[in-house]
Chain A
């Protein structure tokens, strides 16, 4: 039982490049989300999804796209990377829409140069 799996663990991009951060879960959780973690700012919500085909914006959505075609996967796309997107990205899932425990992946450390 893998839980929440994020790939890659580390990535270096040049400004303007695009990439997709992958998140997969095997817990059949309805809710999936992406956060970024920056020093002194805690975790901030980028996008979230309450089920396949449904996505919504969080606190800091600009520069990121998401889609949810299956229950298991919730990829995060950076279309044109900027140095301000250098961060650690976490995918998190919950069983339902309400305030239950969130399960986190191990994170992707992204550096944009």
Chain B
């Protein structure tokens, strides 16, 4: 079946540091890939997505490229801010049965300090 593997957290960085959160996936079809972010006490919100190989998703300074050859979708940001502190989830969406369903990784907590 489908699965998503993310690096263990927490990740602690100083403000303005470079961020990478690794994500690899296993899927039987041709999934769409997503990064969702969860701020404390809130639900998940879509951060960025990519629907096919070599697509780059980007939003709010975050980027991730869909790499089919390495089955990866690593999240990067050049300069993190304290406000980026949250839990980040990598996910894939693949059609099985009557609808496409999301499969999530376990989440990576990011803490950014001054």
**A interface residues (Cβ-Cβ under 8 A, vs B):** 4, 31, 33, 35, 40-45, 48, 50, 54, 56, 58, 90, 92, 97-99, 101-102, 104-107
Partner of B31, one of A41, A99, A101, A106: A99
A75, B31: Cα distance in complex, Å: 28
Residue of B nearest to A41 (CB): B106
Residue of B nearest to A30 (CB): B99
Chain B 100-112, CB-CB to A under 8 Å as 1, else 0, gives 1110111100000
Instruction: Specify which chain A residues have a CB less than 8 angstroms from the CB of B20 in the assembled complex.
Output: none
A35, B38: Cα distance in complex, Å: 14
Known: A99-B51, A102-B46. A40 touches B98 (CB 8 A): no
Q: Are B106 and A97 in contact (CB under 8 A)?
A: no
Q: Is B45 an interface residue (CB 8 A)?
A: yes
Most A C-beta atoms less than 10 A away, residue of B31, B95, B104, B105: B104
Q: How far is the CB of A6 from chain B (nearest CB, A)?
A: 8
Q: Are A99 and B95 in contact (CB under 8 A)?
A: yes
